[in-house]
Amino acid sequence: MDIDVLTLGRRIRSIRQERGLTLEALGTAIKRAPSQISAIETGKREVRLSELQAFARLFGVSVDELLSDAPLSKRASLEVELERAQAGRIALALGLDPLPIRRSLSDEAIETILALYRELARIDSERAATPEEARRANTELRRAMRERDNYYAELEEQASALLTSVGHEDGPLSQRTAADIAAHLGLTLHYVRDLPVSTRSVVDRRHGRIYVPLAQSPDADPRSIILQTISSYVLGHEAPRDYAEFLLQRVETNYFTGALLIPELGAAKLMGAAQQRRALSVEDLRDAYGVSYETAAHRFTNLSTHHLGIPVHFLKVSESGVISKAYENDSVSFPTDALGAVEGQFVCRQWSARRVFDVEDRFSPYHQYTDKPVGTYWCTSRIQNTPLGTFSVSVGTAFEHAKWFAGRETTRRHTSTCPNGDCCRRPSEQLSARWAGASFPNARLHTSLHAAMPTGAFPGVDEVEVYEFLDRHAPAAPPEAPPAPSS
Residue 340 gets the label, from left (phi > 0), alpha (psi -120 to 50) or beta, of left
Angle subtended by helix axes 107-128 and 74-86, to nearest 10 = 40
Q: Are strands 209-213 and 188-192 parallel, antiparallel or unpaired?
A: parallel
For position 422, what pLDDT does the model report? 79
CB contact at 8 A, 247 and 453: no
Q: Which long-range contacts (CB under 8 A, 24 or more apart) does 245-253 make?
A: 246/457, 246/458, 246/459, 247/134, 247/137, 247/138, 247/141, 248/141, 251/141, 251/145, 252/152, 252/155, 253/228
> How far apart, in whole angstroms, are the C-alpha atoms of residue 261 and residue 212?
18
Could you list the pLDDT tens digit for every one of the 487 residues in the chain?
467 888 888 889 889 988 899 999 998 998 999 899 988 888 888 888 888 899 989 999 998 888 887 778 888 888 888 888 888 878 887 788 888 888 888 989 999 999 998 888 877 666 555 667 777 888 899 999 999 999 999 999 999 999 999 999 999 999 999 999 999 999 999 999 999 888 888 999 889 999 998 876 666 788 898 999 999 999 999 888 778 888 899 999 999 999 999 999 999 999 999 999 999 999 999 999 999 999 999 999 999 999 999 999 999 999 989 999 999 999 999 998 877 888 888 899 999 999 999 998 888 899 999 999 999 999 999 999 887 789 999 999 999 999 999 999 999 999 999 988 778 878 888 888 887 777 777 765 554 444 444 555 566 667 777 877 888 888 876 555 555 565 4
For position 295, what pLDDT does the model report? 95
Q: Are strands 413-415 and 188-192 parallel, antiparallel or unpaired?
A: unpaired
Of residues 376, 328, 320, the one with CA closest to residue 344: 320
Separation of first and last alpha carbons in the chain: 13
Of residues 147, 323, 356, 130, the one with CA closest to residue 244: 130
Give the 3-state secondary structure of residue 463. Answer: helix
- C-beta neighbour count of 229 within 10 angstroms: 24
Cα angle 283-288-292, degrees, rounded to a multiple of 5: 55
How far from 411 is each of 353, 370, 377, 396, 400, CA to CA, in Å? 17, 11, 13, 16, 16
For position 456, what pLDDT does the model report? 55
For position 191, what pLDDT does the model report? 92
CB contact at 8 A, 296 and 282: yes
For position 351, what pLDDT does the model report? 96
Of residues 251, 218, 222, 219, the one with CA closest to residue 235: 251
Give the 3-state secondary structure of residue 16. Answer: helix
CB contact at 8 A, 86 and 99: yes
